[in-house]
Amino acid sequence: MKLFLQPNDTFFFRDGKPFTKGDQSEGHSIFPPLPSTVLGALRSAYIAEFGDLPLFYSGRMRDIIGTPESLCDVIRLRGVFFASNRDNFFPVPLDLIYKKSDEQDRNIPLHLLVPTSKNFASNGAINNPLTWSTPESIDSYAEGLLCLGAITRYLQGNDSNLLITDRATLIEQESKTGITRSADTLSSEEHMLYRIDMSRFKNSDGNYGFIVDYECPKNLPQKGLLKLGGEGKSFVYEHSDFDVDLLSRHLESVKAAIRSTDIFKLYFATPTIFQQGWLPSWLNSNTLEGEFPIQSMSPILLKLITAAVGKPIPVGGWNMAKGEAKPTHCAVPAGSVYYFELSDKNRIDDLITAFHYQNISDERAEEGFGLALIGIA
* Residues 179-199 pLDDT 10s: 777 777 777 777 677 777 888
The residue that leads in pLDDT, 250 or 320, is: 250
CB environment 90-109: b (16+ within 10 A), e (fewer): bbbbbbbbbbeeeeeeebbb
Give tens-digit pLDDT for 190-233.
Answer: 767 777 788 888 865 658 999 999 999 999 999 999 999 887 88
The per-residue pLDDT for 214 is: 96
How, if at all, do strands 234-240 and 2-7 pair?
antiparallel
CB environment 187-215: b (16+ within 10 A), e (fewer): eeeeeeebebebbebeeeeeebbbbbbbe
How confident is residue 23, by pLDDT bands cut at 50, 70 and 90? low
- Provide Rg for the chain, Cα atoms: 22
Alpha-carbon distances, residue 174 vs 20, 96, 159, 195, 204 (angstroms):
21, 30, 35, 10, 16
User: Is residue 276's pLDDT more than 60?
Assistant: yes
Q: Are 235 and 250 found together in one domain?
A: no
Q: What's the CATH code of the domain at 347?
A: 2.60.40.4350
The per-residue pLDDT for 185 is: 78
How, if at all, do strands 188-201 and 26-27 pair?
parallel
Q: Are 255 and 350 found together in one domain?
A: yes
- Within a domain: 104: no
Q: Are 212 and 272 found together in one domain?
A: no
Could you give the CA distance from residue 265 to residue 254 in angstroms, rounded to a whole number? Answer: 10
Query: Last residue of some domain: 240, 274, 297?
Result: 240
Q: Are 80 and 209 found together in one domain?
A: yes
How, if at all, do strands 329-331 and 313-315 pair?
antiparallel
- Average pLDDT score, the chain: 86
Could you give the CA distance from residue 150 to residue 308 in angstroms, rounded to a whole number? Answer: 19
Residues above pLDDT 70, as percent of the chain: 90
Q: Are 231 and 268 found together in one domain?
A: no
Q: Are 230 and 257 found together in one domain?
A: no
- Within a domain: 143: no
Binning the chain into helix, strand and coil, the percentages to the nearest 5 are: 20, 40, 45
Q: Are 218 and 260 found together in one domain?
A: no
Could you give the CA distance from residue 155 to residue 162 in angstroms, rounded to a whole number? Answer: 12
Residue 362, C-beta contacts closer than 8 angstroms, at least 6 positions apart: 273, 274, 275, 280, 281, 370
Domain that holds residue 279: 246-376
Least reliable range by pLDDT among 66-80, 106-120, 164-178, 348-362: 106-120
Residue 363, C-beta contacts closer than 8 angstroms, at least 6 positions apart: 273, 274, 275, 329, 369
User: Is residue 57's pLDDT more than 80?
Assistant: yes
Q: Are 236 and 370 found together in one domain?
A: no
Q: Are 221 and 251 found together in one domain?
A: no
The per-residue pLDDT for 19 is: 61
Q: Are 279 and 331 found together in one domain?
A: yes
Give tens-digit pLDDT for 26-40.
Answer: 666 788 899 999 999
The per-residue pLDDT for 120 is: 66
Span 334-361, average pLDDT: 94
Q: Are 313 and 211 found together in one domain?
A: no
